[in-house]
Amino acid sequence: MIHDLRVTVLVENTARRAGLLGEHGLAFWIETGASRVLFDTGQGLTLRGNAARLQIDLAAADAIALSHGHYDHTGGLMQSLEVNRHAQLFLHPQAMVSRYSGRSGQAREIGLAIETQQALRQQPQRIIWTTQPTEIAPGLFATGEIPRHTDFEDTGGDFFLDAACCDRDPILDDQALYADTDDGVVVVLGCAHAGMVNTLDYVRTLTQRPIRAVVGGAHLVNASQHRLTRTIDSLREMKIQMIAPAHCTGPRATAALWTAFPDQIADCSVGTQWVFEAR
């Protein structure tokens, strides 16, 4: 159990403080006592600048973890590996596959950059594959592959494994991070392509503990009203103390969450920091 957990937003679509920049992407800096973890890296356009402004040293990371292999979560990985030569890298094997978006009838590459894949293959000693729940720092875990049991959640968009957009991408590499604290489990999402509810249910199964807080992307940007309603009903049943939607959650879903949970919702823009301490 972690008694002092600190989570800082390094990259997100929005920035509300002077000197910080937003981009379509996500990255978190997570501190657990003596350990420091970089979770996702955004597109790579704002990561280093925001980190410097927030006085966060990327070279000090003990581990780098990826939620999945999309460009807006992995674009800053190469520069992170260049400034940090010792951190181990935690990712699912499927994060390395080619990915495409079929939006508007045209294929668009959205996967991990080829040059980054090549660099990773040259450093196999740094990689730890996370198909199963994996401890990446004392008390901080990656879920690995997440079971999908709900009948109202899907990957959240038109994602494919081929440029012809015929082979749908189940995004099996999607994973979240979680840490058990004194008041319950804190969950950090990347995009929750496995489904926000599926993810939280899996973490509850793994920990046998209540969810204290969930922060990050929920990929509800394209969600139907039915999915939004079922998601909100499930979150209400979980009695989560804090919900901080970000990035791919989308404005409509974020507004619905704010309306449903006015006392639990928190901002998740660049520079936001939460400290989960023992009471």
Residue ranges making up the domain that contains 184: 4-277
pLDDT at position 102: 84
**Dihedral sign of CA atoms 236, 241, 246, 252 in order:** positive
**What does the alpha-carbon distance between residue 96 and residue 93 come to, in Å, rounded to a whole number?**
6
Report residue 271 as tokens. Answer: 């520079």
Could you give the number of structural domains in the chain? 1
DSSP state at residue 265: B
pLDDT at position 29: 98
Cβ-based neighbours of 206, under 8 Å, separated by 6 or more: 133, 141, 143, 178
Beta-bridge mates of residue 207 = none
Report residue 57 as tokens. Answer: 């040293």
Contact predicate 232/220, CB 8 Å: no
Flag residues of the chain having pLDDT under 70: 104-105, 278-279
DSSP string, 216-237: EE---TT--HHHHHHHHHHHHH
pLDDT at position 253: 97
Q: Residue 237 maps to which CATH number?
A: 3.60.15.10
pTM above 0.85, yes or no: yes
**Which of 136, 257, 256, 141 lies closest to 202, judged by CA?**
141
